[in-house]
Structure 1
Protein backbone atom coordinates (compact mmCIF):
# COMPACT_ATOMS: atom_id res chain seq x y z
CA UNK A 1 0.00 0.00 0.00
CA UNK A 2 1.48 3.33 -1.09
CA UNK A 3 1.23 6.40 1.09
CA UNK A 4 0.36 9.66 -0.64
CA UNK A 5 2.45 12.68 0.33
CA UNK A 6 1.00 15.96 1.55
CA UNK A 7 1.59 17.88 -1.70
CA UNK A 8 -0.26 15.20 -3.68
CA UNK A 9 -3.15 15.39 -1.22
CA UNK A 10 -3.28 19.19 -1.47
CA UNK A 11 -3.31 19.00 -5.28
CA UNK A 12 -6.08 16.38 -5.23
CA UNK A 13 -8.26 18.44 -2.87
CA UNK A 14 -7.68 21.59 -4.94
CA UNK A 15 -8.97 19.76 -8.02
CA UNK A 16 -11.89 18.22 -6.14
CA UNK A 17 -13.02 21.52 -4.60
CA UNK A 18 -12.17 23.84 -7.51
CA UNK A 19 -14.86 26.43 -8.00
CA UNK A 20 -16.70 25.54 -4.76
CA UNK A 21 -15.82 28.85 -3.15
CA UNK A 22 -15.53 27.09 0.20
CA UNK A 23 -12.62 27.14 2.61
CA UNK A 24 -11.13 23.78 3.53
CA UNK A 25 -8.59 22.35 5.93
CA UNK A 26 -6.49 19.26 5.27
CA UNK A 27 -5.23 17.02 8.03
CA UNK A 28 -2.14 14.81 8.04
CA UNK A 29 -3.73 11.51 6.99
CA UNK A 30 -5.87 12.86 4.12
CA UNK A 31 -9.05 13.96 5.88
CA UNK A 32 -10.46 17.25 4.68
CA UNK A 33 -12.96 19.42 6.51
CA UNK A 34 -14.92 21.67 4.14
CA UNK A 35 -16.21 24.65 6.06
CA UNK A 36 -19.77 25.45 5.06
CA UNK A 37 -20.08 28.11 7.76
CA UNK A 38 -16.57 29.27 8.59
CA UNK A 39 -16.34 31.33 11.73
CA UNK A 40 -13.21 32.34 13.56
CA UNK A 41 -9.94 30.78 12.48
CA UNK A 42 -10.39 28.20 9.73
CA UNK A 43 -7.92 25.70 11.22
CA UNK A 44 -9.46 26.07 14.69
CA UNK A 45 -13.01 25.56 13.38
CA UNK A 46 -12.00 22.51 11.31
CA UNK A 47 -10.13 21.06 14.29
CA UNK A 48 -13.24 21.43 16.47
CA UNK A 49 -15.34 19.60 13.87
CA UNK A 50 -12.80 16.80 13.39
CA UNK A 51 -12.27 16.40 17.14
CA UNK A 52 -16.02 15.78 17.47
CA UNK A 53 -16.66 13.79 14.28
CA UNK A 54 -13.34 12.16 13.37
CA UNK A 55 -12.64 9.47 15.96
CA UNK A 56 -14.35 6.16 15.25
CA UNK A 57 -16.45 4.42 17.84
CA UNK A 58 -17.66 1.08 16.51
CA UNK A 59 -21.38 0.52 16.82
CA UNK A 60 -22.22 4.20 16.61
CA UNK A 61 -22.63 6.59 13.70
CA UNK A 62 -18.86 7.29 13.66
CA UNK A 63 -18.31 3.73 12.45
CA UNK A 64 -20.45 4.22 9.35
CA UNK A 65 -18.99 5.28 6.04
CA UNK A 66 -19.88 5.69 2.38
CA UNK A 67 -17.47 5.34 -0.52
CA UNK A 68 -17.73 7.55 -3.59
CA UNK A 69 -15.68 6.58 -6.63
CA UNK A 70 -14.14 9.56 -8.41
CA UNK A 71 -15.00 9.78 -12.10
CA UNK A 72 -11.44 10.71 -13.06
CA UNK A 73 -10.14 7.33 -11.80
CA UNK A 74 -7.95 9.10 -9.25
CA UNK A 75 -9.39 7.26 -6.25
CA UNK A 76 -12.26 7.50 -3.79
CA UNK A 77 -13.82 9.80 -1.25
CA UNK A 78 -14.87 8.24 2.04
CA UNK A 79 -17.57 10.09 3.95
CA UNK A 80 -18.75 9.61 7.49
CA UNK A 81 -21.42 10.91 9.83
CA UNK A 82 -20.60 14.60 9.30
CA UNK A 83 -21.26 15.86 5.75
CA UNK A 84 -18.26 18.20 5.74
CA UNK A 85 -15.66 15.62 6.82
CA UNK A 86 -14.29 13.58 3.90
CA UNK A 87 -11.19 11.45 3.46
CA UNK A 88 -9.45 11.00 0.10
CA UNK A 89 -7.99 7.58 -0.77
CA UNK A 90 -5.79 7.57 -3.87
CA UNK A 91 -6.10 4.72 -6.34
CA UNK A 92 -2.59 3.43 -5.62
CA UNK A 93 -3.19 3.31 -1.87
CA UNK A 94 -5.58 0.38 -1.81
CA UNK A 95 -4.62 -3.03 -3.14
CA UNK A 96 -8.27 -4.05 -2.82
CA UNK A 97 -10.59 -1.68 -4.73
CA UNK A 98 -13.75 -2.98 -3.06
CA UNK A 99 -15.84 -0.34 -1.33
CA UNK A 100 -15.48 -2.20 1.96
CA UNK A 101 -11.66 -2.19 1.86
CA UNK A 102 -11.43 1.42 0.66
CA UNK A 103 -14.04 2.52 3.22
CA UNK A 104 -12.21 0.83 6.07
CA UNK A 105 -8.95 2.50 4.99
CA UNK A 106 -10.59 5.93 4.74
CA UNK A 107 -12.39 5.48 8.03
CA UNK A 108 -9.17 4.48 9.80
CA UNK A 109 -7.46 7.60 8.44
CA UNK A 110 -10.35 9.80 9.59
CA UNK A 111 -9.99 8.18 13.01
CA UNK A 112 -6.24 8.93 13.11
CA UNK A 113 -6.80 12.50 11.94
CA UNK A 114 -9.57 12.94 14.54
CA UNK A 115 -7.20 11.86 17.29
CA UNK A 116 -3.93 13.47 16.06
CA UNK A 117 -5.60 16.71 14.82
CA UNK A 118 -2.53 17.77 12.84
CA UNK A 119 -3.42 20.42 10.23
CA UNK A 120 -1.12 20.33 7.17
CA UNK A 121 -2.89 22.85 4.90
CA UNK A 122 -5.56 25.55 5.05
CA UNK A 123 -7.13 26.94 1.88
CA UNK A 124 -9.63 29.77 1.88
CA UNK A 125 -11.66 29.31 -1.30
CA UNK A 126 -13.97 32.23 -0.61
CA UNK A 127 -13.98 35.00 -3.22
CA UNK A 128 -12.04 38.10 -2.27
CA UNK A 129 -14.04 41.33 -2.01
Structure 2
Protein backbone atom coordinates (compact mmCIF):
# COMPACT_ATOMS: atom_id res chain seq x y z
CA UNK A 1 0.00 0.00 0.00
CA UNK A 2 1.17 3.46 -0.85
CA UNK A 3 2.01 5.98 1.83
CA UNK A 4 0.73 9.50 1.43
CA UNK A 5 3.25 12.30 1.87
CA UNK A 6 2.73 14.99 4.49
CA UNK A 7 2.11 17.84 2.02
CA UNK A 8 -0.66 15.85 0.31
CA UNK A 9 -2.26 15.17 3.70
CA UNK A 10 -2.08 18.84 4.70
CA UNK A 11 -3.64 19.93 1.40
CA UNK A 12 -6.43 17.36 1.75
CA UNK A 13 -7.29 18.40 5.30
CA UNK A 14 -7.20 22.11 4.38
CA UNK A 15 -9.79 21.47 1.67
CA UNK A 16 -11.90 19.25 3.93
CA UNK A 17 -11.96 21.69 6.84
CA UNK A 18 -12.08 24.94 4.87
CA UNK A 19 -14.49 27.37 6.47
CA UNK A 20 -14.86 25.37 9.69
CA UNK A 21 -13.11 28.04 11.75
CA UNK A 22 -11.70 25.30 13.96
CA UNK A 23 -8.02 24.60 14.53
CA UNK A 24 -6.74 21.13 13.74
CA UNK A 25 -3.67 19.03 14.24
CA UNK A 26 -2.40 16.44 11.76
CA UNK A 27 -0.44 13.36 12.78
CA UNK A 28 2.08 11.33 10.81
CA UNK A 29 -0.24 8.61 9.47
CA UNK A 30 -3.08 10.90 8.38
CA UNK A 31 -5.16 11.17 11.54
CA UNK A 32 -6.52 14.64 12.20
CA UNK A 33 -7.82 15.95 15.52
CA UNK A 34 -10.21 18.89 15.17
CA UNK A 35 -10.23 20.98 18.32
CA UNK A 36 -13.74 22.06 19.26
CA UNK A 37 -12.55 23.81 22.41
CA UNK A 38 -8.96 24.80 21.66
CA UNK A 39 -6.54 25.59 24.40
CA UNK A 40 -3.26 27.46 24.20
CA UNK A 41 -1.11 24.53 23.07
CA UNK A 42 -3.02 22.92 20.22
CA UNK A 43 -0.49 20.14 19.57
CA UNK A 44 -0.43 19.08 23.23
CA UNK A 45 -4.23 19.01 23.50
CA UNK A 46 -4.62 17.07 20.24
CA UNK A 47 -1.96 14.59 21.35
CA UNK A 48 -3.82 14.02 24.64
CA UNK A 49 -7.05 13.32 22.75
CA UNK A 50 -5.34 11.00 20.28
CA UNK A 51 -3.51 9.07 23.00
CA UNK A 52 -6.88 8.40 24.63
CA UNK A 53 -9.02 7.79 21.53
CA UNK A 54 -6.53 6.63 18.90
CA UNK A 55 -5.32 3.20 20.01
CA UNK A 56 -7.56 0.37 18.87
CA UNK A 57 -8.96 -2.49 20.88
CA UNK A 58 -11.15 -4.46 18.47
CA UNK A 59 -13.37 -5.73 21.28
CA UNK A 60 -14.36 -2.24 22.45
CA UNK A 61 -15.76 0.98 20.99
CA UNK A 62 -12.32 1.94 19.65
CA UNK A 63 -12.66 -0.88 17.13
CA UNK A 64 -15.77 0.64 15.57
CA UNK A 65 -15.47 2.79 12.49
CA UNK A 66 -17.49 4.47 9.76
CA UNK A 67 -16.25 5.17 6.25
CA UNK A 68 -17.22 8.33 4.38
CA UNK A 69 -16.47 8.59 0.66
CA UNK A 70 -15.07 11.91 -0.48
CA UNK A 71 -16.15 13.67 -3.66
CA UNK A 72 -13.87 13.80 -6.71
CA UNK A 73 -12.41 10.35 -5.99
CA UNK A 74 -10.06 11.86 -3.44
CA UNK A 75 -10.36 8.99 -0.98
CA UNK A 76 -12.18 8.35 2.27
CA UNK A 77 -12.51 9.57 5.83
CA UNK A 78 -12.57 6.95 8.55
CA UNK A 79 -14.21 7.97 11.80
CA UNK A 80 -14.06 6.26 15.15
CA UNK A 81 -15.50 6.57 18.61
CA UNK A 82 -14.47 10.22 19.09
CA UNK A 83 -16.22 12.65 16.71
CA UNK A 84 -13.19 14.91 16.34
CA UNK A 85 -10.63 12.21 15.52
CA UNK A 86 -10.75 11.33 11.82
CA UNK A 87 -8.30 9.56 9.52
CA UNK A 88 -7.82 10.29 5.82
CA UNK A 89 -7.25 7.37 3.46
CA UNK A 90 -6.18 8.33 -0.07
CA UNK A 91 -7.39 6.35 -3.09
CA UNK A 92 -3.93 4.99 -3.80
CA UNK A 93 -3.60 3.58 -0.27
CA UNK A 94 -6.21 0.86 -0.62
CA UNK A 95 -6.21 -1.76 -3.33
CA UNK A 96 -9.68 -2.86 -2.16
CA UNK A 97 -12.17 0.06 -2.22
CA UNK A 98 -14.76 -1.72 -0.06
CA UNK A 99 -15.76 0.15 3.07
CA UNK A 100 -14.61 -2.77 5.22
CA UNK A 101 -11.08 -2.80 3.76
CA UNK A 102 -10.77 1.00 3.79
CA UNK A 103 -12.15 1.19 7.33
CA UNK A 104 -9.75 -1.41 8.66
CA UNK A 105 -6.84 0.38 6.99
CA UNK A 106 -7.92 3.78 8.35
CA UNK A 107 -8.45 2.31 11.81
CA UNK A 108 -4.92 0.83 11.69
CA UNK A 109 -3.51 4.25 10.76
CA UNK A 110 -5.38 5.84 13.68
CA UNK A 111 -4.01 3.12 15.96
CA UNK A 112 -0.44 3.90 14.85
CA UNK A 113 -0.98 7.61 15.40
CA UNK A 114 -2.56 7.00 18.81
CA UNK A 115 0.18 4.71 20.05
CA UNK A 116 3.05 6.80 18.66
CA UNK A 117 1.69 10.32 18.13
CA UNK A 118 3.93 12.45 15.97
CA UNK A 119 2.51 15.86 15.05
CA UNK A 120 3.38 16.89 11.49
CA UNK A 121 1.21 20.00 11.16
CA UNK A 122 -0.83 22.42 13.27
CA UNK A 123 -3.42 24.63 11.54
CA UNK A 124 -4.73 27.43 13.75
CA UNK A 125 -7.52 29.10 11.82
CA UNK A 126 -9.00 31.00 14.76
CA UNK A 127 -9.38 34.74 14.27
CA UNK A 128 -6.58 36.71 15.88
CA UNK A 129 -7.48 38.22 19.24
CA UNK A 130 -7.47 41.95 19.61
TM-score (norm. length: structure 2) = 0.97
Query: 1:60-100 deviations in whole A, cap 9, x for unaligned?
Result: 00000000000221000000000000000001110000000
Aligned residues: 129
The gaps in structure 1 that reach 5 residues or longer are none
Query: 1:44-75 deviations in whole A, cap 9, x for unaligned?
Result: 00000000000001110000000000022100
The gaps in structure 2 that reach 5 residues or longer are none
The aligned residue for residue 97 of structure 2 is: 97
The within-5 A match list for 1:1-129 is 1-129=1-129
Post-superposition offset of 1:128: 2.4
**Counterpart-to-counterpart distance in 2, 1:19 and 1:58:** 34
**Counterpart-to-counterpart distance in 1, 2:40 and 2:125:** 15
TM-score (norm. length: structure 1) = 0.98
Post-superposition offset of 1:125: 1.3
Q: Deviation above 4 Å: which 4+ runs of structure 1?
A: none
Post-superposition offset of 1:126: 1.1
RMSD: 0.7
**Counterpart-to-counterpart distance in 2, 1:123 and 1:96:** 31
